[in-house]
Amino acid sequence: MAPHAEESMVSGNAGGSAASTGDLFKVNSPNVEYTNGEIKSKYTYRTTSVKRDGNGKFTATPKETLYDFKTDRKVPKTGMMLVGLGGNNGTTVTAGIIANKRGLVWDTREGKRAANYYGSVVMGSTIKLGTEAETGKEVNVPFHDMLPMVHPNDLVIGGWDISGMNLAEAMDRAQVLEPSLKSQVYKEMATMKPLPSIYYPDFIAANQEDRADNLVPGRKACMAHVEKIRQDIREFKAANNLDKVIVQWTANTERYADLIEGVNDTAENLLKAIENGHAEVAPSTVFAVACILENAPFINGSPQNTFVPGCIDLAEKHGAFLGGDDFKSGQTKMKSAMVEFLVNAGIKLTSISSYNHLGNNDGKNLSSQKQFRSKEISKSNVVDDMVAANSVLYKKDEHPDHCVVIKYMPAVGDNKRALDEYYAEIFLGGHQMISIFNMCEDSLLASPLIIDLVLICEMMTRIQWRAAGKADYAGFHSVLSVLSYMLKAPLTPPGTPVVNALNKQRAALTNIFRACVGLEPENDMTLEHKLF
């Protein structure tokens, strides 16, 4: 039976009253049409096509393609189901949404603090709309008001966990939040208990087994597990009268699954492998398959290879949305920004050394070598596209040395310590070394990303587009690369380049939202201020 609503989730404001209506501004253009139900826009996408001749010379040809965008203005009642609801991230994001919804204020050693959504791109940042006609000053609007979006206060929260501890006790176990805040949300959190989850011991560290007391029977993949997850989603959706459910993996890092021809290379083979209980089908992949079949978008916030080729193939066949991999919060986001800055400045980065001390359960799980290897891969590849883009500094196949070390230090708790050393070659054989010590409260950085991923993913389900002149609109590709800004190892559609450069990721997100309301990208040339 499905748990009672009051025992399994946090309910949002009735009717989504806090949602953005997208009415803060209107675009005055013949290319934009507003109706009660939709925003329709015509958008000219300008790119440059480049051809190389036999002598290594280039010919660049500007191209223009006209697209039509259609955005559904109705903000749906949305549920967020987390795999790992009772973990550090799950309890922190749940307590945070409760605190924001209730407008809580609590005492700390530094004084009173109030609930906020700092760290969320959607809720805490702005987008340049344009320049004010009278003064020439920039006009910036909240990101959340660019389009009609779900407000996090309105999310209905539920999910699964291998630990059956109620969320109040799990919040205590996580040791993330101030006691004065916990006391105000404790009663509500105590009524919430995760749904039983699936547990395949070979995929996570053995040191997690003592937490595994809330399990669906069976320790290997099977279609019964897929159907149980689908049933949980359906019952959660019905019990809370939801229009949509977004599912997100914020549970333990798994080991990499071996990619085997005939097992997980196609949709058909993957489904057959699940039916046969194959040892190389991970729990996260079973969740992804269940979500695809249930048409619930699934986001992977851990570094393992959940989305094996067969999983992506299945999503494409069903037109379902996937996003991943691995939350990009503290150290890796800094690394993306620093490498992009150095390489764009013409400074040749020659080595990066990254050391991490982490004391929460994530660190405990990562003390196992197979799980650490998944994290090492996601942390190590974040500079590849920026290096490849600069053929002046780096010859073909040349790459900075890159070392990643993670050590489990229980005393540190959720306050992760990260030390990065960047060593670079500068003018006339000189050298520059930059060291950054980053202490970040891990779950307080990750929780706003969980919110962003859900809100943006939901928004993308309401945007359709087509090439001008085509009869039918279509949604975006099943792999939502637009989520890359929040993810360490961005998943992209097969055959498309991976972009890790932080500014490019943010620009892609911003400019898609602008296109939906018929606005060109801001080019920042400021020609309106140049006097001739």
Cβ neighbour number for residue 63 with a 10 Å cutoff: 10
Residue listed under structure tokens 């790992």: 84
Does one domain contain both 84 and 99? Answer: yes
Query: Strand runs (DSSP E) across 259-301, as ranges?
Result: 298-300
Tokens of 37: 């139900």
Question: Consecutive sets of 10 residues in the chain, 532 residues long: mean pLDDT of each?
Answer: 41 52 89 95 95 93 96 97 97 98 96 97 96 89 97 98 98 95 98 97 86 95 98 98 98 92 97 97 98 98 94 97 90 88 95 85 68 63 85 91 87 85 95 92 93 98 94 94 92 87 93 95 81 59
Does one domain contain both 431 and 452? Answer: no
Active-site annotation holder among 101, 244, 328, 416: 416
CATH code where residue 435 lies: 3.30.360.10
Domain boundary, last residue among 441, 459, 478 = 441
Active-site annotation holder among 326, 414, 420, 452: 326
Q: Is 375 a catalytic residue?
A: yes
The count of structural domains within the chain is 2
Amino acid at 31: N
pLDDT tens digit sequence for 28-38: 999 999 999 99
Tokens of 68: 């039509």
Q: Is residue 263 part of a domain?
A: yes
Does one domain contain both 413 and 282? Answer: no
* Domain range for 86: 5-13+76-113+151-327+444-502
Q: Is residue 54 part of a domain?
A: no
Q: Is residue 59 part of a domain?
A: no
Q: Is residue 127 part of a domain?
A: no
Query: How many DSSP H helices and E strands does the chain contain?
Result: 15, 18
Q: Is residue 400 part of a domain?
A: yes
Rg over CA atoms, the chain: 24
Does one domain contain both 408 and 430? Answer: yes
3-state secondary structure 18-64: CCCCCCCCCCCCCCEEECCCEEEEEEEEEEEEEEECCCCCEEEEEEE
Contact 84, 252 (CB under 8 A): yes
CA–CA separation, 483 vs 449, rounded Å? Answer: 10
Q: Is residue 384 part of a domain?
A: yes
Q: Is residue 133 part of a domain?
A: no
Does one domain contain both 406 and 285? Answer: no
User: Residue 82: what pLDDT?
Assistant: 98
Does one domain contain both 156 and 293? Answer: yes
Reduce the DSSP state of residue 479 to 3 states and report it: strand
User: Residue 2: what pLDDT?
Assistant: 39
Q: Is 326 a catalytic residue?
A: yes
Active-site annotation holder among 244, 335, 364, 488: 488
CA–CA separation, 1 vs 67, rounded Å? Answer: 47
CA–CA separation, 72 vs 55, rounded Å? Answer: 50
The candidate with the shortest Cα–Cα distance to 287, out of 247, 239, 329, is 247
Residue 329's contacts (CB-CB under 8 Å, 6 or more residues apart) are 440, 442, 445, 446, 449
Contact 163, 213 (CB under 8 A): yes
CA–CA separation, 304 vs 375, rounded Å? Answer: 7
The candidate with the shortest Cα–Cα distance to 104, out of 279, 96, 393, is 96
DSSP secondary structure, 364-425, as one string: HHHTSHHHHHHHHHHHHGGGHHHHHT-TTT--TT---EEEEEEEE-GGGTTEEEEEEEEEEE
Does one domain contain both 344 and 369? Answer: yes
The candidate with the shortest Cα–Cα distance to 335, out of 392, 401, 380, is 380
Give me the sheet containing 463-467, strands edge to edge.
32-34, 38-52, 58-72, 463-467
Contact 289, 226 (CB under 8 A): yes
Does one domain contain both 465 and 371? Answer: no
CATH code where residue 174 lies: 3.40.50.720
Cβ neighbour number for residue 482 with a 10 Å cutoff: 21
Contact 377, 323 (CB under 8 A): no
CA–CA separation, 101 vs 96, rounded Å? Answer: 8
Q: Fill in the DSSP letter of residue 106.
A: E
Amino acid at 339: V
Active-site annotation holder among 375, 414, 420, 452: 375
Does one domain contain both 452 and 422? Answer: no
CA–CA separation, 440 vs 427, rounded Å? Answer: 34
Stated as kind and residue range, the H or E segment containing 325 is none
Does one domain contain both 230 and 316? Answer: yes
Q: Is residue 513 part of a domain?
A: no
Domain boundary, last residue among 441, 457, 488 = 441
**CB neighbour class for 279 (10 Å; exposed up to 12, middle 13-18, buried from 19):** middle
User: Residue 15: what pLDDT?
Assistant: 37
CA quadruple 185, 187, 188, 194: dihedral positive or negative?
Answer: positive
Total number of residues shown for the chain: 532
Does one domain contain both 100 and 226? Answer: yes
Does one domain contain both 168 and 282? Answer: yes
Domain boundary, last residue among 406, 426, 441 = 441
